[in-house]
Chains A and B, each alone.
Chain A
Amino acid sequence: MSEETKALESMIGEEYKYGFTTDVEYEEFPKGINEDIIRELSARKEEPEWMLEFRLKSYRAWREMEEPDWFNATYKKPDFENLLYYSAPKKKPKLDSMDEVDPKIRETYEKLGIPLEEQKMLSGVAVDAVFDSVSVFTSFKEKLAEAGVIFCSISEAIREYPELVKKYIGSVVPARDNFYAALNSAVFSDGSFCFIPKNTKCPMELSTYFRINNMESGQFERTLIVAEEGASVSYLEGCTAPMYDENQLHAAVVELVALDDADIKYSTIQNWYSGDEEGKGGIYNFVTKRGICKGKNSKISWTQLETGSAVTLKYPSVILQGDNSIGEFYSVAVTTKKQQADTGTKMIHLGKNTRSTIISKGISAGQSNNSYRGEVKVGKNAKGAKNYSVCDSMLIGQECGAHTFPYISSENASSSVEHEATTSRVGEEQIFYLMQRGISEQDAISMIINGFVKDVLKELPLEFAVEANKLLDVKLEGSVG
């Protein structure tokens, strides 16, 4: 290995800064999953009967499903009987006020750079903080309520806005959709709910910060975002977890619904613990994310910066049902050490003149494996549908892998589907070129990577672009003096 590659590898192997554990008292259910656990979970959350039914039906469906294994990844399958399905920090009865949040948990979020006090937060960003199985705090609720926007934990939404939740939950990702979606539908413990009423532009960025703390708990969160006619919202999720030798399972379901002329922008900065050099530990990130452009002229845009997790399997997708609707997917997936990522998107064109754009950038280093898997499907009624896809992969070093699996099918002759793919290696020539101009090796590498991902990062909301850059820097810079 050359000096450059070694330097690069060591930069990329930068230590995980969010790997600490918070010592809190938990209330937990016994390990394992069965109908009693689900009933207990539903009762604990004071859920209505229909919710319990939804869970039980999902559970029964899941029992009959096979765990999928078509991914380009190998890992030890989770032991579902050895997981905690509910693990919540012991709490006081109500958590609406800051004072009721356990100071240790507050401290945890401070350390993660997410202060929960509203006056300390980024102005214009409301945060829902999810700690293991439950939402511990949601900020700016009152301010959002003034605009008619509902932003709260999904548990609260089920209690307070049952009709809304009932109408939309499972409407985009049905419980039987896939193995992990079924499991989530049975045992989801918390997550975020956003509802933007007609002709309302959400006055601030909404964000949820997910933290897995407990070593033995799975995290099954459920997020539902509904934008009514003419509404628009920008939402961001961030994720971190402590370093443990064992793998933890994170199996979320996210559903987005955009009615006529609505616009939903969903951004993810995922930095779960990725395991150590030997591939020990780290999060299994098995997530189902899907949006439906239900109404005409609606738009759903997914932007993701995926840097963490031992294994990532996720394909944020858009069903383009309304005529003239738009789906977008912008992704940067960085894998280092022994991480494995199989990620991409699905764009399902059903309506006329629907358009989709896919920009995927994969960066693989170490002995990692990074696959793009994407599907573009044009239905027979999707007259004039257009898709444009670009999948670029960058390899750092000799031991990593990058793969592209595009699936394209069209039943309509008037549609156009364009796919471009490139694979490049961060070349010594590029680094030498910049160094010859006087730029240090570290800055040269950072420049090359930043140039590579620029088209995607510029899609992130401004408030988070800085955070994303910092994260990339932590991940890709630092140790060369």
Chain B
Amino acid sequence: MLEIKNLHAKVEGEDIEILKGVNLKVNAGEIHAIMGPNGSGKSTLSKVVSGHPEYEVTDGEILFEGEDITEMDADERAHLGLFLAFQYPVEVPGITNKTLLREAYNTIARANDREELDPLEFEDYLVSKLDVIEMKDEFLNRSINTGFSGGEKKKNEIFQMAVLDPKLSFLDETDSGLDIDALKIVSDGVNKIANDEKAIVLITHYQRLLNYIKPDFVHVMMNGKIIKSGDIALAEELEANGYDQLQKELMLNGEAQ
């Protein structure tokens, strides 16, 4: 579904590369976890893949279902079925969640020659998704993320994911700032959404999340590259020994710079 080849990227107008040759392949039905310390480039990767204008790709390419999306605008990528759950969901005062989601849903439907939903149909559809994340319907009429608690914002991201029904979702540190109850609700939500036709990429610092959402693959990112890939055992090893230990081992083996 997603194939990232030798991806290099930097902040537009600056010299320092943040991504230094990322390679990643994600197939339908798979859940991947990307772990790594602060500043390793995990969040940048999710933004570059979803088309954040602040970043410039300097080398490599991003293929989505075989199509090169490296230069596409963010909204076109969303139309193809790419979703990013933000680490810091943005507040947009004066526009309700419901308005945003109806606009978004129908725009995506139009782009894919699917039928749009009228306001009443959409209302029913929306309400049917509330259970995914144990969300109260009052959320629908509140301004986007405005005055939401940190946990509510993260839940809202997963709710939006449920409504827009993307093929591939990047979840950027969705677990950070959540208490244990909220973490469970969010994880349950993601598990309900996940199926054989969808792919999910979790970006996280902590192994904690992976107790609730079981990844098929775990990747460790450091210094702008994926330096090691494995299964859930890799996450457990990291949790036990830390990133430093892994880096030392790899250096001994001559696998990292």
Interface readout for B45-56 with A: 1 if CB under 8 Å, 0 if not?
000001111100
| Contact between A436 and B78, CB atoms less than 8 A apart | yes
| Contact between A438 and B164, CB atoms less than 8 A apart | yes
B159 within 8 A of A: no
| Contact between B103 and A435, CB atoms less than 8 A apart | no
Cα separation A120 to B124 with both chains bound (whole Å):
40
| Contact between A440 and B75, CB atoms less than 8 A apart | yes
| Contact between B74 and A432, CB atoms less than 8 A apart | yes
| Contact between B94 and A439, CB atoms less than 8 A apart | no
| Interface residues in A, total, Cβ within 8 A | 26
Q: Give chain A residues whose Cβ lies under 8 Å from the Cβ of B164.
A: 437-438
Which B-chain residue is minimally distant from A361 (CB atoms)?
A: B94
| Contact between A438 and B93, CB atoms less than 8 A apart | no
Q: Give chain B residues whose Cβ lies under 8 Å from the Cβ of A473.
A: none
Please give the distance in Å from A7's CB to the nearest CB on chain B: 10
Cα separation A433 to B104 with both chains bound (whole Å):
11
B12 within 8 A of A: yes
Please give the distance in Å from B244's CB to the nearest CB on chain A: 32
Q: Give chain A residues whose Cβ lies under 8 Å from the Cβ of B90.
A: 427, 429-430, 432-433
Interface readout for B69-96 with A: 1 if CB under 8 Å, 0 if not?
0000111011100011010011111110
Please give the distance in Å from B56's CB to the nearest CB on chain A: 11
**Quick one: given A432-B74, A433-B86, are A439 and B103 in contact (CB under 8 Å)?**
yes
B107 within 8 A of A: yes
A24 within 8 A of B: no
A54 within 8 A of B: no
Q: Give chain A residues whose Cβ lies under 8 Å from the Cβ of B105.
A: 438
Cα separation A453 to B95 with both chains bound (whole Å):
10
Interface readout for B16-52 with A: 1 if CB under 8 Å, 0 if not?
0000000000000000000000000000000000111
Interface readout for A1-40 with B: 1 if CB under 8 Å, 0 if not?
0111000000000000000000000000000000000000
| Interface residues in B, total, Cβ within 8 A | 34
* B53 touches which of A428, A438, A450, A455 (Cβ 8 Å): A428
**Quick one: given A430-B92, A450-B95, are A436 and B74 in contact (CB under 8 Å)?**
yes
| Contact between A451 and B93, CB atoms less than 8 A apart | yes
| Contact between A435 and B74, CB atoms less than 8 A apart | yes
**Quick one: given A436-B83, A436-B84, A447-B100, are A441 and B95 in contact (CB under 8 Å)?**
no
B111 within 8 A of A: yes
Please give the distance in Å from A100's CB to the nearest CB on chain B: 47
B108 within 8 A of A: yes
B204 within 8 A of A: no
B223 within 8 A of A: no
| Contact between B143 and A451, CB atoms less than 8 A apart | yes
Q: Give chain B residues whose Cβ lies under 8 Å from the Cβ of A429.
A: 90
| Contact between A443 and B103, CB atoms less than 8 A apart | yes
Closest 8 CB pairs of A and B: A451-B94, A438-B78, A435-B74, A451-B95, A433-B90, A437-B104, A454-B94, A438-B108
Can you sample 10 A-B contacts with CB below 8 Å?
Answer: A432-B74, A433-B86, A435-B74, A435-B75, A437-B101, A437-B104, A437-B164, A438-B111, A439-B75, A453-B94
Known: A443-B107, A452-B93, A452-B94. 4 other contacts (CB 8 A): A435-B74, A438-B78, A450-B95, A451-B143
